[in-house]
Structure 1
């Protein structure tokens, strides 16, 4: 088997920068006790000012007074870790978030689907960059080796045992995954690389160090199978962005909204599902949140479509107070069925599918603006159709089932018949007599499919017992 380690060295900071309107401005995450606040992480702009991780907040403010400060939230960091595990789950069924700031992904079974490892790796990097997370990726024959090598390498891919042992042997003991006190003890013994540690007698290591040291060495070399806790996607999506200031315009909410819908789409792709209903929660200072419901007729997971639908509903919502935070919650995550396409689809790439057009019209014009048609048992043609709600199916549209269509009926039925002028038409099919009783109009007509002198196909009739003239009631395509 082959494993990839996706190391996320700036996970907490990247999670914060994703919701910042100006991510290039100097920013630092702070942590620690109130008596001694220290910098937990700094972005490149703050690093250019001389700020470093571990520096006290007082010293940082004395060195550079103009930089933003945000409290480091470990729970928020863990949530981003789970979110990226859900994203990675779309590429492999064996994903582990057991290591902090890292994901372990089994890739051997996915190479046949996503191509050779260089192409697969490029896709992982591209999507992580789009999500806004810095990363390092290493592939190795076992997960422990991949995790250790990711500490000092990026882009390394070793396929065999011997190349893996050689790469591991060059690791500094401080970066090989040992406990800090064990790594310090090795350094005091004059051991600088993992190769020197592996050359020591096992009996001596067992006497001087805890048993975890030998188990870790065996796991690195693949001689001891590492037990990993596998990620399983939840059946609920909830994501929240705190704005940090009061927002009164819906336009100012579009940036965080686009982030939330993109995260929802990535989550849905990871669990191979869709969403049919979700809610936007607009949080206010000291008041109940305003909830904006977004419903779809069929499960979807396209990020652009979800954003456009949510944007349309948000612009129509009545917000009573300024917004301090925006959350997106999806409780119903039904299975997703991709739209049917022919092998050689002649539809232009820029054309909009019926499903997307239908949802956009409903979002812009209202829930009841789009409806379907259904055949109705009535002899009168103008009363043989009924408006029905648009069918809630992935492949559904506003067309009638084939078995319910009456024979030889036009696609365009006029609101009321009009006298047919000009030469007598040539009848192609019919006549078909349609009658109704006195209680609903007392209609007696002989209908036929006719070709006019202009070449058009029309649906015409003659009243039974009338003057013999034709009336036009519909057009065929």
Structure 2
């Protein structure tokens, strides 16, 4: 399942450092969610069963990650797969799928957008979230971390979470297995001093040279003079030390994706029973509603694809009369379409796609209005009738851009407001104007002259009047100026 974000104005980049004024903005706070077991979790491997993920390295198949049960048989990363199978005959092997890992991270980034608008995937196997502005909303750092951890665990992911004023030290702690929250840059050197130099992204040759000199931890490097360290081991070492200490200003790239929602669900067994399809549709629509709420969007069109074995898929396009993100409403309309769609064969899978996203606008309601028993909600009723009978089964009267009364209206699929112009015109027009005697009517001062239609072969020149008939009805009569000057009754006012 791939979820994509609705396009929005990018948030303002978080500040990396505070100014010296008393009222300066607080330092940014970055939360890193490191996923050490991501290569295993995408295959939904259980820890109590021996399994491992392998990669192709220089023509050799090497173990990349292993479950806890496999580690009990001494199956470790870097071990050749044939040696791993010799140690554990029941070992299940899976080739690493980097594309699926990336898709999983993008899905988790969507979860992160529920906590902050600034999410980045710049660091491997990790989410970076700038959360300083979200702390008050979620009741503090500890509460935010607990809620985020709960969401990740619900999706089957175990994460190591660490927070720091800069992205790199947050990732450095999390990728090293240290779950710490450091909100001040001054605490980074003392709290990260015991980390091994090998945790820094340095050339392996540089790490080996430092180890031969007896330098194994970051504290060992921070104790040395900077100029001498740079001369002997290069500027790259100083740069990584400054990143770890939060001295280097760094703003990770904002996570972005195309505004498309796609979800797919395989059925346990193929079926033609709609009662078995509705719960699956409900799950897909709940995922769509979550996606729309997360991005403050709504949709007026979506497509459901029903797959069949060795047959073309059945496609249903659902159009809504107005954009919505209510899963119950969309589910009701979708069920109406399903009940009236013949299936050529049993369904094996369902796919939902939505690429028509609009900004969400809440419907206005009267705060003091009381519900009237038995009152009908016309919008859902009309929409349900359209889905049940077809969009062309219901037609609504609308106006057209023409001054001639016979051509000034048209049929629409949706009701629209009328713009009658300055003059008064009746909504009830006779099928054909009928001759009348103007002396029998009391003419009112409301008059309108219409001269139009010379370009399409149906010209008219008429003087219209609002008149009162002997029975007291208000009528719309006109005098034909192009003919013999006769008067005609054309419409009646309600």
Task: Mark yes or no: TM-score above 0.5.
Answer: yes
2:90 to 49, 59, 65: 65
Question: Are the equivalent residues in 1 in contact too, given 2:200–2:240 (CA < 8 A)?
Answer: no
* Alignment root-mean-square deviation, CA: 4.9
For 1:32, the equivalent position in structure 2 comes to 55
8 Å contact kept, 1:246–1:322: no
CA contact (8 A) 1:362 1:369 kept: no
Q: Does 1:219 align with 2:243?
A: yes
Consecutive unaligned residues of structure 1, counting only runs of 5 or more, are 348-353, 376-386, 393-399, 402-432, 438-477
Deviation at 1:82, TM superposition (A): 2.1
Q: Does the C-alpha gap of structure 1 residues 222 and 365 become closer, same or farther in structure 2, counting only changes over 3 Å?
A: same
> Does the 8 Å contact 2:65/2:77 carry over to 1?
yes
Describe how 1:131-142 pairs up with structure 2 within 5 A.
131-142=155-166
CA distance in 1, matches of 2:170, 2:147: 19
CA distance in 1, matches of 2:50, 2:81: 12
The C-alpha deviation readout for 1:172-194, integer Å capped at 9, x for no partner, is 22334445444444333322321
Counterparts in 2 of 1:49 and 1:328: CA distance versus 1, 3 Å:
farther
Deviations 1:220-253 (A, max 9, x none): 2222111422223422233456x59984567887
Q: Which moved more, 1:150-159 or 1:293-302?
A: 293-302
Deviates more, 1:261-270 or 1:335-344: 335-344
- CA 220–62 in structure 1, closer or farther in 2 if over 3 Å, else same: closer
C-alpha distance in structure 1 between counterparts of 2:196 and 2:369, whole Å: 55
Residues 216-255 of structure 1 aligned to structure 2 (within 5 Å): 216-240=240-264, 247-248=270-271
CA contact 2:32–2:162 (8 Å) conserved in 1: yes
Aligned length: 380
Is the 8 Å Cα contact of residues 167 and 252 (structure 2) preserved in structure 1? no
Structure 1 distance, partners of 2:139, 2:33, is 18
Using the alignment, how far apart are the partners of 2:262 and 2:117 within structure 1?
22
Change (3 A) 1:165 1:205: same
Q: What is aligned with 1:11?
A: 38
State TM-score, norm by structure 2. 0.60
Question: Gaps spanning 5+ residues in structure 2: where?
Answer: 1-27, 372-376, 399-410, 419-470, 476-494
On the 8 A contact 2:270/2:348 being kept in 1, the answer is: yes
1:106-139 alpha-carbon deviations (Å, 9 max, x no partner): 1112224333222222222232233333222211
1:82-120 Cα offsets, whole Å, 9 max, x none, are 222233234323221111211211111222433322222
Alpha-carbon displacement from aligned partner over 1:409-441 (angstroms, at most 9, x marks no partner): xxxxxxxxxxxxxxxxxxxxxxxx99899xxxx
- Give the corresponding residue for 2:484: none
Cα distance per residue 1:53-105 (max 9 Å; x no partner): 555544348724375x5543222221222222233234323221111211211
Map of 2:216 onto structure 1: 192
How high is the TM-score relative to the length of structure 1? 0.61
Shift of the 47–283 alpha-carbon distance from structure 1 to 2, 3 Å rule, reads farther
1:144-155 map, 5 Å: 144-153=168-177, 155=179
Which is greater in Rg?
2
CA distance in 2, matches of 1:114, 1:82: 23
Q: Secondary structure at the match of 1:333?
A: strand
Measured after TM superposition, the shift of residue 326 of structure 1 is 5.0
Structure 2 CA distance for partners of 1:366 and 1:157, relative to 1, 3 Å:
farther
SS in 2 for 1:159: coil
Residues 1:173 and 2:197 are matched in the alignment: yes
Query: Cα–Cα, structure 1 residues 172 and 332, in superposed 2: closer, same or farther, change >3 Å?
Result: same
